[in-house]
Amino acid sequence: MTDDTAILEGALANRSAWRADRCPVGKALEVIGTRSAMLIMREAFYGTTRFDDFAERVGVTETVAAARLRELTAAGLLRREPYQDPGQRTRHEYRLTDMGRDLLPAVLGLFEWGSKYLSPGGRGPLRLGHAECGAEAHVAVRCEQGHDIPLNELSLASARRR
C-alpha cells in the first residue's frame, strides 16, 4: 500500500485516528474552493484590480464577481482601497495582501498541471518564466537542504503544538 505514496510517521500511521476537520487543505478549500474564487485570485496575480475587469476576465456575472470579491476581502486575501479617476467619483480597487500573494504556489501548481494534462498537445497557452534570468519557472516540492522531493520521499508527521 505504500509503494508510491507519502510516508505517514508516528501517530499518523494510525489512519483511523485522523481528524479530517483540522486538515489545512480542507480549510483552504473552504476559502478558495470555488472555481470563480480561484480564477479571481489568478486575475489578481496578473495585475487586475478593478471590479469590472475581474467580472469580464473571469467570465462571471457582476453578482458572482461582487460576492467572490467580498468573500476574498473578508477572508484577507485581497484588500479594498479607494481610487479616483480624474472627474469621476471615488471607486474601489482590490489589491493582493501577503495572504493572497502566498497562494501563488498553489495556483501555479494548478496552472502547470492543467497545462501538462488538460491542454492540447500537453502544452498550455502560456510559458512561465523568471524575468530576472529568462529561465523557465516551475512549481517544485523541495526540502530546506535543496533536494527535490518525489511523493514517496515526502513524510508527514504531527507538528508539536505549544
Q: Is 70 helix (H, G, I), strand (E, B) or coil?
A: helix
> 122 is written with which cell numbers?
500537453
Q: From CA 85, how far away is CA 93, in angstroms rounded?
A: 12
**Within positions 25 to 54, which residues make up the interface with a copy of itself, using CB under 8 A?**
25-31, 33-35, 38-39, 42, 44-49, 53
Of 40, 47, 29, residue with least CA distance to 66? 40
Quote the least distance from Cβ 35 to a copy of itself, whole Å. 4
Of 35, 38, 139, 54, residue with least CA distance to 95? 54
Quote the least distance from Cβ 68 to a copy of itself, whole Å. 13
- Give me the 87-126 binding string for a copy of itself, x by CB under 8 A, dash otherwise: ---------x--x-xxxxxxxxxxxxxxxxxxx-x-xxxx
Q: Which stretch binds a copy of itself (CB under 8 A): 62-70, 84-92, 146-154?
A: 146-154
**Within positions 55 to 84, which residues make up the interface with a copy of itself, using CB under 8 A?**
56-59, 76
Which sign does the torsion angle of CA 72, 75, 78, 80 carry? positive
Q: Which stretch binds a copy of itself (CB under 8 A): 24-32, 66-74, 84-92?
A: 24-32
